[in-house]
Amino acid sequence: MEITTTYTDKLNRLLATYQVHYQNLRAIHWNIKGANFFELHLKYEELYTRTQVIIDDLAERILTLGATPIHRFQDYLNESALSENPTIHEGHAGMTYIHQAQETLLTMEREIMREAADCEDEGTNALMSDLVREKEKTNWMFSAWLNH
């Protein structure tokens, strides 16, 4: 298995993207208002709690591969494929953000999964495969909620 810096850089970019996504989810959770408050407040908490586990798994995978996970907030903002959200109060806007953010994460995870297969890196491949499967299902549910 030959792991390149470019490969671990992509994992760090994914880590940064998840970190920004995590904070966006926390903000949506804190600021949600309206008719779907109870339903969405709980869903957002479920999502940010799961995202926190994914962040730890990614950082540990990067370490396992002999690289160093980025950890500075400025690095997260510089590397992330997602931007910080403005304050979101409305449920439809929050769910739309989540659906779009997960599409961004899916694209990144699929690319890393292909590279992991090329490098014969089964550990990363398995992690990405689990994340892709999970996100495909939740995005189907979010799409149904949004009436897409």
Other CB atoms within a 10 A radius of the CB of residue 93 amount to 14
**What pLDDT was estimated at residue 42?**
97
What CATH architecture applies to the domain 5-145? Up-down Bundle (1.20)
Give which of 111, 114, 116 is closest to 1, Cα–Cα: 116
Give every residue of the chain whose pLDDT is below 70, as ranges.
Answer: 1-2
**What pLDDT was estimated at residue 29?**
98
pLDDT digits (tens, 9 = 90+) for 85-127: 999 999 999 999 999 999 999 999 999 999 999 999 999 999 9
Determine the distance from the C-alpha atom of residue 148 to the mean position of all C-alpha atoms in its chain, rounded to a whole number.
21
Residue reference for tokens 């897409």:
148
**What pLDDT was estimated at residue 102?**
97
Amino acid at 37: F
**What pLDDT was estimated at residue 5?**
82
**What pLDDT was estimated at residue 2?**
63
**What value, to the nearest 5°, has the Cα angle with vertex 114 and ends 148 and 129?**
60
